[in-house]
Every structure is written in C-alpha cells, then in structure tokens.
C-alpha cells in the first residue's frame, strides 16, 4: 500500500512535486528512543514507494530546540536500571542494529537527501543528519558528538559517516573533545554544504531539492551510488565497540549524571 503521507507520534512525511519531506516532531528536541525508531522504521518501509515518485528527500525538524538532541538518554537510563547487565547489553545491541538498518536505508536511498538543520544536532541526531547527501545549516545550528562524556562512542554510525565527509583531524576534534561546533565551522570544514540565515534552512533545502528534481532520477541515483559508498564494515565495528563500552561503570555514571542533574547544565560538558 502506498504511503504518500503519514503523521506518526514523533514524525510525519509527505511527498509533493517530486520532493519527500520528513518532519521530525517530538518534543522537546526529537530525542531518538523507541517511539522515533518505530516511526523511522515505518518511513524506511515506505521508502521504495516514495523513491518511485520523487527525486529528493528533505529531513528537518519542527521542534524549536533543533534538529535532534540525539538518543533519548532518560529512556536509556531507565532501561538499564530495570535490567541486569546481560539483558541490557543484548537489548541495546538489538536497538542499535535496528537503528543502523534504518539509517543505512536512508543513507543508500536513491533520492538525493538533504538535512535542513537548525539548533542542536547532537549525538544520534547528528548521526541522522550524516546519512544525508547534503546538510544545509541554519546559522544557529550546533553539531556535536558528546558520547565520550557518557563513556561511550557514537553508536548510530556517526564515526564512519563523518570520516566519509570531513578530514580525520576534524573527526578527532569532535569525537575526542566532545565539543560542539557552530554552523560557520561546519561550513568551513565541509560538513555543511550551505549556510542559511536564521530560520531559512528549510527554504534553502527546498530550493536545492527543486533543482534536483530537474535531473534524470536514474542518473542522480547512479552518481550517488558511485560517490557515496556505505562503510558497512566500519559500521559493524562501531556497534561492537559501543557494545563493549556499554556495560562499563562510566556509562551508567554518565547517564545518571545527565538524568539526575538538577542544574541547567546537562547539555554542557
């Protein structure tokens, strides 16, 4: 059954004039937990039909806070606290494999994909943006891999994808310092392809997508497949490293600090 339009609990999509728009819309900052994973899986299942009628996909956020603050750490902490270490590790691996399947599917879509990013684009949210062919960054966007603050590494495929897009020095800076960078820096490093005035990222993404609809879909898909290989082996290794780190004490301590932090600081190092 064709699903040209869908409104789920955490996101929705619609296709018009050869452009699919996937809008993330879960308060407060599109945190990626089970609800969003299920909705993303629905989207991935609808992709074959969407790809037959469109040339471009724009992923953007309707939440003021930003594109996505990443994994739902409150849900993850609650999940760990309710299980023994072995069960938690097994289920986390299962979650990662599901999210990887979805992100890999978006990554390899025949559509030319554009992330229109405003506000926070952290952790898993950054990893979702990195599945896209192009990132249009609002001047107020910030990109970050904060996972080391939690004793982890990015687990949704971020490192292999970031390595694909920017120099290794930039990858080391973001990963090993856990600092966030602004949109100007993102543009300078080649992470973002365009810088938008505040509030204009979606408009610029739509203009870019409209241009893409002028090209032969088959030729665009062939070009994309040629220049953007999926780093499959590294993606598998990333899951293994994440799962090796996950049971260590630093992780539960980091998550507890984030969840129980009563001050205003959670998203700051």
Partner 1 sequence: MKNLEQTTDEILELAAEHFKVPRASLQAKDDFFKKLGIDSLQALELLTRLENHFGVELPDYEVAGVSDFRTLATRIQARL
Q: Annotated catalytic, 51?
A: no
Q: Please state the closest distance from residue 156 (CB atom) to partner 1, in A.
A: 20
Report d(CA 53, CA 162) in Å as an integer: 29
Q: Please state the closest distance from residue 138 (CB atom) to partner 1, in A.
A: 10
Structure tokens at 156: 């949704």
Q: Annotated catalytic, 200?
A: no
Q: Does 148 bind partner 1 (CB under 8 A)?
A: no
Q: Does 142 bind partner 1 (CB under 8 A)?
A: yes
Window 28-57: residues binding partner 1 (CB under 8 A): 28-29
Report d(CA 115, CA 105) in Å as an integer: 15
With CB under 8 A as the rule, give the number of residues binding partner 1. Answer: 28
Q: Does 187 bind partner 1 (CB under 8 A)?
A: no
Nearer to partner 1, 65 or 241 (CB): 65
Q: How many helices (H) and strands (E) does the chain have?
A: 11, 11
Report d(CA 37, CA 235) in Å as an integer: 18
Q: Does 229 bind partner 1 (CB under 8 A)?
A: no
Q: Does 13 bind partner 1 (CB under 8 A)?
A: no
Q: Does 151 bind partner 1 (CB under 8 A)?
A: no
Report d(CA 86, CA 77) in Å as an integer: 15
Residues in CB range of 169: below 8 A, 6 or more apart: none
Enzyme catalytic residues: 127, 147
């Amino acid at each position: 059954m064709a699903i040209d339009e869908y409104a789920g609990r955490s996101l929705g999509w619609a296709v018009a004039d050869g452009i699919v728009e996937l809008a993330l819309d879960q308060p407060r900052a599109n945190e990626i937990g089970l609800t969003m994973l299920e909705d993303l899986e629905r989207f991935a299942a609808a992709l074959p039909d969407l790809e037959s009628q469109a040339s471009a996909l724009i992923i953007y956020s309707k939440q003021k806070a930003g594109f996505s603050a990443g994994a739902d750490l409150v849900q993850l902490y609650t999940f760990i606290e309710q299980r023994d270490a072995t069960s938690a590790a097994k289920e986390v691996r299962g979650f990662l494999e599901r999210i990887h399947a979805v992100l890999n599917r978006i990554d390899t879509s025949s559509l030319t994909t554009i992330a229109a990013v405003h506000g926070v684009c952290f952790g898993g949210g950054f990893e979702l943006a990195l599945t896209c062919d192009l990132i249009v960054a609002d001047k107020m966007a910030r990109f970050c891999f904060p996972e080391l603050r939690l004793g982890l590494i990015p687990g949704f495929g971020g490192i292999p994808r970031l390595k694909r897009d920017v120099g290794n020095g930039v990858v080391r800076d973001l990963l090993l310092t856990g600092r966030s960078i602004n949109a100007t820096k993102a543009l300078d490093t080649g992470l973002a392809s365009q810088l938008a005035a505040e509030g204009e990222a979606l408009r610029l993404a739509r203009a870019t997508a409209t241009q893409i609809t002028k090209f032969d879909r088959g030729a665009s898909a062939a070009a994309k497949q040629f220049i953007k290989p999926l780093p499959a082996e590294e993606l598998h290794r990333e899951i293994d490293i994440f799962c090796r780190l996950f049971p260590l004490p630093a992780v539960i301590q980091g998550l507890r600090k984030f969840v129980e932090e009563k001050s205003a600081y959670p998203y700051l190092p």
